[in-house]
Chains A and B, each alone.
Chain A
Amino acid sequence: MSSEMAHETGEVTHEAAHTSAEYIHHHLQNLTWGQLADGTWGVAHSAEEARAMGFWALNLDTFIMSLLLGAIIMFVFRSVAKSAVSGTPGGLQNFCEWAVEFVDSSVRGSFSSKNAMVAPLALTVFFWVFSMNLMDLIPIDWVPLLMKWLGVPFFKVVPSTDPNATFGMAIGVFLLVLFYSVKMKGFGGFMGELTLQPFGKWGMPVNLLLEGVNLIAKPISLALRLFGNMYAGEMIFILIALMGGAWAGFSVGGLTLFGSQILLSLGWAIFHILIVTLQAFIFMTLTVVYLDMAHQEHH
C-alpha cells in the first residue's frame, strides 16, 4: 500500500543518500504555518523552517484534522440528539445511545460527586481521541501523497501524534482539575492539600514537592501516554512501510520484503485497533478519575 510513495521518495532521493531517514522525517513533520525567516507568513517547507517559527505558529494538519473530526462527531451526535425520541430508536440513534450509556456508566463508576459537565466531557474526550487515533489506520502514505499532488509539503493525518494536540487536551483537563479543586475545597483547602500531607505541617516543603509532582504529573502523563502510544504506533507503520520501499525489482529478497510489508502492516493495523480504542478509553477514564479526585476532600 505504501510502496508507491516509498518508491517515489526513493526516486526523488536517488540523488540524495539518506532515503529512509528522509522518508521518516517527512512523515513526522507537521504542516506548520507561521512567520518565515523573511518576515512573511506562510507554510514551512522544511523542519528547520518550522522550528525557526517559534511558538507563534500553527500546525495546520493537526488543527484541520482535529477540527474536522471533532466537527463530524459533534454533527453526528447533534443530528441524533435533535431527533432523539423515547420510542423505538433507529440505527444511528441506537449507536449514539449506546455510546452515551457506555460513557455514562463509566462516569458513574468512577465519578462519585455530582457535576453535569463531567459526562459530556468524557463523551467528547473519548470520541474525539478515538477518531483522531483512528486516522492512524489510514495507510500512512495515502494522505501525504495526495497532499503532494496538491502541492502541500507535509501532512500528518493523525492529530494525536502531535504533542500539541495531546497537551492541549491534557492542559484543558488540568485547568478543570485546578478549577474544581479550588471550587470544591476553597483556595485554602486546596493549598492545605498540597502542603499539609503526607508529613504534617512540619514537613511542608517536602509535602509541597511530593504533592506538586503528583499534581503536575497528571496532565503530563495524560498527554505523553497518548502521544507516546500513537507516535510509536505510527513510527512502526512507517518502518513497516520502509520494507516495501526497499523494493528493487523482482528478486527473492524484494518479493519477501514486499510480502512482509503487507503481512506486517495488516497485523500491526489489527493490533492497533486495540491501541486506538484503549488509549481513547484510558484518556477518558483518567480524565474522569482526575476530576473525581479534584472533587473529593482529602483527610
Chain B
Amino acid sequence: MNINATLLAQLIMFALFVWFCMKFVWTPIIGALDARKKQIADGLADAERAKQDLELAAKRSAEILREAKEKAGEIVASGEKRASEIVEEAKTQAKVEGERIITGAKAEIDQEVFRAKEQLRTQVSAIALAGAGKILGREIDAKAHNDLLDKLVAEI
C-alpha cells in the first residue's frame, strides 16, 4: 500500500482513456443520438404537417362539393327557366301562327266568296239576259246592250 510510481502511471492512463473516450467514443455516439433525435423530431413534424394537409384537403373538398352543388342547383334553375321560356316562346309563336293561318283562311274565304259572287253575278246576268230575251222575244244584241248589262251586273 505504498505510494509509488503507479500513481503517475495511473494518472497518464487516466488522461489517455479520457482523451480516447472524448475523441473516439463520445462524439460518434452522441452524434448518432442527436441524429436520431432529429429524425424523430422531423418525423413528428412531418406527421403534424400531413395532418394539417389532410385537414386542409378535407376542408377544400367540402368546399368544392358545396360549390358543385350550388352550381348544379344554378344549372337546374336556369334550365327550368329556359324551358319555361321556350314553352312561352312556343306558345306565342303558336298563337301568331294560328292567327296567321286564321287570317289566311279568312282571306281565302273572302276571295272564295267574292269569286262565288262574281260567278253568281255573271250567271245572274246571263240568266237575266236569257230571261229578258225570252220576255222580249228576240235576241238582244249583247254588244248593243253591253253598257246596260254592265249596269245591271253592277246593281246585282
Stretch in B8-16, B62-70, B123-131 with 4+ CB within 8 Å of A: B8-16
- Contact A58-B11, Cβ < 8 Å, known A70-B17, A78-B24, A120-B25: no
- Contact A55-B33, Cβ < 8 Å, known A124-B18, A165-B10, A168-B9: no
- Contact A50-B2, Cβ < 8 Å, known A67-B13, A81-B28: yes
A66 near B13 with CB under 8 A, answer yes
| Residues 1-42 of chain B, each 1 if its beta carbon lies under 8 Å from chain A, else 0 | 111111111110111011011101111111111011011000
A253–B127 alpha-carbon span in the complex (Å): 183
Residues of the B chain whose Cβ atoms lie less than 8 Å from the Cβ of A57: 2, 4-6
| Residues 75-99 of chain A, each 1 if its beta carbon lies under 8 Å from chain B, else 0 | 0011011101111000000001100
Residues of the B chain whose Cβ atoms lie less than 8 Å from the Cβ of A46: none
* Interface of chain B, main secondary structure: helix
Minimum distance in angstroms from B32 CB to a CB of chain A: 4
- B37's nearest neighbour on chain A, judged by CB, is A86
* Interface of chain A, main secondary structure: helix
A100 near B22 with CB under 8 A, answer no
- Contact A81-B4, Cβ < 8 Å, known A86-B39, A120-B22: no
B25 near A34 with CB under 8 A, answer no
| Residues 142-164 of chain A, each 1 if its beta carbon lies under 8 Å from chain B, else 0 | 00000000000000000000111
A82–B33 alpha-carbon span in the complex (Å): 13
- Contact A120-B26, Cβ < 8 Å, known A74-B21, A85-B32, A86-B39: yes
A56–B3 alpha-carbon span in the complex (Å): 9
B29 near A81 with CB under 8 A, answer yes
Residues of the A chain whose Cβ atoms lie less than 8 Å from the Cβ of B7: 164, 167-168, 171
B33 near A66 with CB under 8 A, answer no
- Contact A74-B17, Cβ < 8 Å, known A162-B6, A168-B8: yes
B30 near A32 with CB under 8 A, answer no
**Which of B6, B18, B24, B33 contacts A100, CB < 8 Å?**
B33
A51–B2 alpha-carbon span in the complex (Å): 7
A111 at the interface (CB under 8 A from B): no
A163 near B1 with CB under 8 A, answer yes
A117–B33 alpha-carbon span in the complex (Å): 18
Minimum distance in angstroms from A122 CB to a CB of chain B: 9
**Which of B4, B15, B32, B36 contacts A55, CB < 8 Å?**
B4
Q: How many residues of A contact B (CB 8 A)?
A: 50
A58 near B2 with CB under 8 A, answer no
B11 near A120 with CB under 8 A, answer no
- A73's nearest neighbour on chain B, judged by CB, is B17
Which of B5, B6, B7, B26 has the most C-beta atoms of chain A within 10 angstroms of its own C-beta?
B6
Minimum distance in angstroms from A81 CB to a CB of chain B: 4
Residues of the B chain whose Cβ atoms lie less than 8 Å from the Cβ of A87: 36
A96 near B29 with CB under 8 A, answer yes
B32 near A172 with CB under 8 A, answer no
Interface residues in A32-79 (C-beta closer than 8 Å to B): 32, 34, 50-51, 53-59, 62-63, 66-67, 70, 74, 77-78
- A173's nearest neighbour on chain B, judged by CB, is B14
A116 at the interface (CB under 8 A from B): yes
**Which of A53, A66, A119 contacts B26, CB < 8 Å?**
A119
A74 near B20 with CB under 8 A, answer yes
B5 near A77 with CB under 8 A, answer no
Interface residues in A159-196 (C-beta closer than 8 Å to B): 162-165, 167-169, 171-172
A123 at the interface (CB under 8 A from B): yes
Besides A66-B10, A70-B13, 5 new A-B residue pairs in contact (Cβ under 8 A), listed by A number: A70-B17, A97-B33, A121-B18, A128-B14, A162-B6
6 contacts between A and B (CB under 8 A): A57-B5, A74-B17, A74-B24, A77-B25, A120-B21, A162-B1
Q: Top 4 closest A-B pairs, CB basis?
A: A168-B10, A86-B35, A84-B32, A164-B6
